[in-house]
Amino acid sequence: MAILGCIRLITLINKTDSRNGVTMIELSQILSEATKAIDIEYFHLQIDGGDPVYRERVYCYELYHQMRLRWPHDTPYYLNGEVDKAAHPILSSLGANRVKPDLLVHQPGYMTGNFAVIEVKSSNAPVSGINKDLKNLSLFVDTVGYKRAIYLVYGFDADDVMMAQIQHVAKGIEDLAPIELWMHSHVNSNAIHCATLVRQMVEAV
């Protein structure tokens, strides 16, 4: 099923990348191009003797690889995956030290350099997993100070039905920070920013 709600061209998204004086205007384009470069063996893993399955770690590692290939050399931001912050003194005081987002765009060692936090989920994710991810993303925006939160959903069922389900979950979370919902529904196609989930309502893109 096509994602009918995703109507804005990806090239226009960069206009929203600057928040509170901090900017990395390349991130949306990097994410778009990187997702398009992910081949079927990373998107839907073949299993000997069984049907293909979604494995988020496999997808994430390839996404990280493709993003690093496109990462600008002149940016102060670093792309890191699954950073363990269990011993981080500031995050411990904020109650965020037990959360390990899939990807971070930040300046290590500087809390003021926190730019984007990215969580990845397959299109067959349970509601409980979606709820947990959205709360963690919201925490990293409201409490840790990240400027952008991106929820990237991939899989052949990343469609309007899945988007509506995520929107429904989001409406049940009190004081949800703005979270960009990106959908990647086909191999060798761009992920698209479809909506922004924010404080019990959904802003269409």
Does residue 42 form part of some domain? yes
**What pLDDT was estimated at residue 88?**
55
Helix (H, G, I), strand (E, B) or coil at 193: strand
Percent of the chain with pLDDT over 90: 60
The domain tally of the chain equals 1
Range of the domain at 141: 10-204
pLDDT at 67 (0 to 100): 97
Residue 105 in domain: yes
Mean pLDDT confidence for 32-41: 97
Q: CA-CA distance, 67 to 30, in Å (whole number)?
A: 6
Q: Is residue 200 part of a domain?
A: yes
Q: What local confidence, expressed as pLDDT, does residue 13 receive? A: 36
C-alpha to C-alpha distance for 140 and 32, rounded to whole angstroms: 22
pLDDT confidence tier of residue 89, bands split at 50, 70 and 90:
low
Contact of 7 with 13, CB cutoff 8 Å? no
- pLDDT tens profile 103-161: 999 887 767 678 999 999 999 999 999 999 999 999 989 888 889 999 999 999 999 99
* 3 in a structural domain: no
Structure tokens at 73: 């050399």
Residue 1 lies in a domain: no
Helix then strand then coil, % of the chain, to nearest 5: 35, 25, 40
The reported pLDDT for the residue numbered 173 is 92
Q: Would the pLDDT of 16 be above 50?
A: no
- Whether residue 21 is predicted with pLDDT greater than 60 in this model: the reply is no
**10 CB contacts (<8 Å, ≥6 apart)?**
28, 29, 32, 190, 192, 193
pTM of the model: 0.83
Q: Decide if 60 is inside a domain.
A: yes
184 occurs within a structural domain: yes
| Backbone phi, psi, residue 176, to 5° | -70, 130
Which pLDDT score is estimated for 107?
87
User: Is residue 205 classed as helix, strand or coil in its secondary structure?
Assistant: coil
Q: What is the pLDDT of residues 169-202, one digit of tens each?
A: 999 998 899 999 999 999 999 999 999 998 755 4
5 domain-assigned: no
